[in-house]
Structures are given as C-alpha cells and as structure tokens.
Structure 1
C-alpha cells in the first residue's frame, strides 16, 4: 500500500483548497448569471445554455482547473517567486495565469459546446459557435470570472503562507475557538552566539542571515511532520502532535536533518556572511491548552508548563557542552533507531523548578 510522505500530505492539503475555491466561486457566479437572465440564454450564438450535462461538466472542469492551478502554485510558481513582495507575487502570477487560463478556455469551451449541442468538438456548428464566442462579450465575461477565481485562490494561498496552512485551516474550522487540551512535543531551538553574530554583521545583514537560516530548516520540518509554532528573534519553536513526533522518531530526526541542511550550505554561508550559523535545542513533551486568543490580533497559542520546561532544558546545552538535550520523559517514550544513541547526563535542577530532571543527549553513531 502506497504511503504518502508528510511533505506529500502537506502539498495535497495545500492544493485541495484551490479546487474547492474554484468550484464554489464557479457555482456562485453561475447562479448570479442564471438569476439575472431568468435562466434564459440571451445570446445562443456564442453563449452555452446550462443543461444538466453542461453543469456537471463545468463543475468537474473548474474543479480540475483549480487543482491544476494549485499544483502549479504549490510545486513551482510559489517557489519561483518566493522572495518577492506580496504585491509583486500577485502581479506576476496573475500575468502568468491569465495567459495560461486563456489557453484553458480555448480548450474547454468547444468541449462544453459539444456537450450542449450533442456534436463533435470539431463539428462545424461547434466551431462556428466557438468563433462567435471569441469576439463576444461572453468571452470577456468568462475572463473576468476566471480572473476573480484566480485572484481569490492566490490571495488565499498568500494568506495561508504567511499565517501557516494549519493555522488558517484551524481558524476556518473553529477547531480552537474554545480551549482544547492536547499532548504535544516541543523543540526550542536557539542559534549559538547570536548576539556576537548580530554585532559583527549589523542589523540588516543579520536579518538576511536569519531569513536564510530559517528557510534552510523548512524542508526538514515538513519532512518530519513538525509545525512551526513561533519565530522569536533567533529562536524557533517547533511543535508536534505527540503521535506524529514519536512516530519514526520524527522529533529527533528533524533536529539532525536541520543540522545537515546547514552543513550542506556551510560554504555558501561562509562566503556570504563570513560565518556558518549553528544551533542548540531542547526537547520535551507534555499536555498544553490550545486555543484562539486576542481581540486586535487573533492567534492560536499553547499554554502549559511544558513550554517553560522545554525552554529551561534548552538553556542548559551550553553548560553540558552538547547541541541537543532531551528530557528523560521523552527519551523513555522513543524507540530509537540503531543509528541513534542516547546518553544520560544525570539529574539537574531547572531554573524555576523544584523537582530535578534527568537529561539526555542523543547522537548519531
């Protein structure tokens, strides 16, 4: 049985809303058109009458077009224009998709007309109707409708990219409208010597470094089912639902995959910034309360002792001279692969905590 990777699942979940948006917008525009004309075809020489067969075909067609646009956006164009501003991305993409969708209309219209007229798409009657359509107001109306669907889906994609796909979907579904208790794994990851690096590079250059640094983590986080909870200066907080983080040792493998990502670009960082960033991290899990909060600006946040504890664990990396510290509670829940080896560092007191914690580090053999 084919098992999808976390990255494939994420891409599919990002593409599907395009198809849904195009379908619903298409239905709404069709309803408005039919209501305005009292379900009469006022221009039968160029416009297609909406029969049941045409309606079914049109619904399938706009959904497939939306999914195709989504696939292009997620797998190609989104990466191509990833570093452009919001307005530039919208402008460039609308230009590209306008040409692309004109081609789609030219392909789809004869098929829809052939269904309406019960003729071959290459029949003279169908081709005459198609030529009339290209010089009619109906063609411009179709372009406007398609452009609206396109703009709405691209706008959704940009908002989703900025807020985070999972966060936006949770807002839509109202999943965290009321507080919910969850068991989650957290990783607090902090850049080493960040203050020194910032002073050396200056604010602008340091910010550019941070953008590249966080970008290099993206693939590893997606591949190992993580979710970015927060960026706080040079610190990133990554979260997993407990089952996702434990499965395949995802929470630990994500750490090493991020290390590998930076290692691959070590020469580029040295050439561009004069340094190669490194980081340390703490891992722990426990129950948190999750919910929407805020009036002027809404966010989905986590609250609970596990967050403070994970932050305190990460702070001790320098003291133990290791890059990764994991709570004994989490190590006991993991079934480490043969290439991963845990080593106890003994018990220690965490700042602000009464009970001692046994901490481990995990290394690759």
Structure 2
C-alpha cells in the first residue's frame, strides 16, 4: 500500500476511534454526575468506582472505535461503494448493533471480575450479567452507543462528500477567514466528450463518466492531490506547492491517470463501446482560499491562476499536447525528472501579458 493511501486509512480509522473516545469520556462523566456519592449501581447493586469505570469505559470504547473504523475503512466502505444509502444504513446498523451488544457484555463481565475479585467461571458473574441484561440500564447503554455509532457513520459519509480533511478544516475554522496561499492546479478534460455523449446517450455516458472518474481516485490520492471540483467531464485538482512539486507529483498524477485509463481500455470498450482519453493543463500561482455561501457552504479558491489554467487547457488541441505546463510551473519543477518542449509564448484570452507554454514530453 502506498504511503498516501496508508496515511489516509489511518486518519479515517483514527477519526472513528476519536469519536468513541470522546463519547466514552462524556458517558463516564455523566454516570459519575448521576451516581454522585454512591459506591454501587442502583440497578444491579454492583460496586461502582469512578476511576475503574473511567479506565474500562474509555479504553474499551477506544478499542471499539478502532474496530469500527477498521471494518468501515478496510472492508465495508468498498463492499458497499455502489449501494444506496438506505441499504448501507440498514446493513451496517444490524452489524454494529450486534457488535455493540457483544462489546458491552464482554466489558461488563471483565469489569465485574475485577470489581468482585472473582474468576470468569464464578456463578456470581453469570447472575450479575443476567440481572444487567434484564434491566433498562443495559438497553440505555445500547441506545447511547448506537447514537454515537450513527453520528460517526454520518460524519464519515459527509466527509466523503466534502473530500479528505475538509470536514476537520470546517470544524476548526481553518478557512473561515480567507487567506492567501500558493497552489498548483491541474485542469483535466476528457477527449472528445461531446461526441461520446451524443453517441452513447445521457445515461450510458453518465455511467462512463462515473467509471472514468473512479479510475482517477488512486493516482490523485497517491500523489497527494486534492479534488477541487468536477465540472461535467472536467476535473480540477490542486496541490500545495511543497507536495505538488516534490518529485513532480502534479505531473506524475496525470501520467498515472493516463496509464490507468490505457490499461482499462478493454474494460471501457466492452462495457461502454468507447475508451476515454484525457488532456491536462498545469499552472501555479497565488489564490485566496476561504468559505463562501449562506445556504450551502463551499470552499473556493479565487485568483488569476484558475482562469489562466483553464485558458492553457484550451490550447492543448492546437499544440497537439497531452499536457501543457506554464513557464512558471516548469521553472519550479525538478527538471531532471521531466522533459519539456517549448511550444511558444502565447497571449491567452483575458490576459495582458503573454504566457510561456511547454509541452510535456513523456518517456512512455
């Protein structure tokens, strides 16, 4: 597994563990506040000690969060990627409900053996467990933990719509106040998209477009790209300067996308009767980044660099180039890894100064 994929999986799993951890802390504090000076649970008469309850609840919940996160990220997410939301919710709810009950039972048994200083086989453990399961105390815990599971799943789904790291950024208010930054942009466009749309029809073309974008996921992720937005058959990907320039990741991303589409040519031909190709334009520059919108929040970049990149993309056909790079970006890239051919200094529509353009010469 590539490093970028590993880091992303770890972050997603850690997110679930963190949600469970905070929920456990809240539960332990609420329980302590309700029991007050009591040293036993009124429902079962079992001994109560805040320190032990805190340790077992927090540590057990953290482990449960890691388990749920691992199931979700490494298995369930891929398994149900094409399923509708209602199906995901019903199946996952049943699975996690079973896991919750099993978790609480195991935690209760282990806690009682420590509190009562007896072994697992002692009859008093079974009696206390039966009493616990027959009371509302057990089901109240199930309901509470079930609510936390639902929150974790919903936040996870929302995070997918916003993109990696965006939910965290919105929570901490990173982009609440606009700020300036230097970024690299790649505008990537499907070749002959209009012709394909007309020949395939709306539904089949949309299915092709979905598969086309799906093939880009791994190359974008492995090269630390951030999907800014989709516009029909065009996708805009951006990088901060450090990550985009390192080893020419921005160009490597396009190379891997092109190779991926070429390797999947037979799949596209068999299923859709057409194999899509793509072209791209690259540029870097300063943008202002921040949140915008009242009815719907969105993160946007504003700056001349976006307009310029879009204009450069429009010149790919003229220069018969799979990828065009601006002079500014070309000079910033590690040239030892890439070969370029200057195609000229052109005047792009809407700009007063000419722009140097370079064709990327691919070695494969």
- TM class by shorter chain equals over 0.9
Residue aligning to 2:215: 216
Residue aligning to 1:280: 279
Decide which moves more: 168-177 or 10-19.
10-19
User: Secondary structure of 2:216's match?
Assistant: helix
User: Secondary structure of 1:165's match?
Assistant: coil
Residue aligning to 2:164: 165
Within 1, Cα distance between the matches of 2:263 and 2:118?
59
Residue aligning to 1:43: 43
Residue aligning to 2:21: 23
Residue aligning to 1:14: 12
The change in CA–CA distance for 1:211 and 1:39 in structure 2 (over 3 A counts) is farther
Alignment of 1:14-163 (within 5 A): 14-38=12-36, 40=38, 41-45=41-45, 49-163=48-162
Residue aligning to 1:316: 315
Within 1, Cα distance between the matches of 2:169 and 2:311?
29
After superposition, the C-alpha distances for 1:77-126 in whole angstroms (9 at most, x for unaligned) are 11111112222222221112222333323332222222323334444433
TM-score (norm 1): 0.93
Indicate conservation of the 8 Å contact 1:48/1:112, yes or no: no
Identify which of 355, 361, 364 aligns with 1:363.
Answer: 361
How many residue pairs match? The answer is 361
User: Secondary structure of 1:318's match?
Assistant: coil
Within 1, Cα distance between the matches of 2:298 and 2:331?
33
Structure 1: gaps spanning 5 or more residues: none
Residue aligning to 2:252: 253
After superposition, the C-alpha distances for 1:153-189 in whole angstroms (9 at most, x for unaligned) are 0011011111113221111010011111111000001
Within 2, Cα distance between the matches of 1:17 and 1:209?
33
TM-score (norm 2): 0.93
Decide which moves more: 95-104 or 212-221.
95-104
Within 2, Cα distance between the matches of 1:191 and 1:21?
40
Structure 2: gaps spanning 5 or more residues: none
Within 1, Cα distance between the matches of 2:303 and 2:226?
18
Residue aligning to 1:347: 345
Indicate conservation of the 8 Å contact 2:28/2:54, yes or no: no
Indicate conservation of the 8 Å contact 2:187/2:313, yes or no: yes
Within 1, Cα distance between the matches of 2:339 and 2:264?
26
Residue aligning to 2:299: 300
Query: What is the RMSD computed on CA atoms of the aligned residues?
Result: 2.0
Alignment of 1:154-233 (within 5 A): 154-233=153-232
Decide which moves more: 27-36 or 212-221.
27-36
Indicate conservation of the 8 Å contact 1:186/1:307, yes or no: yes
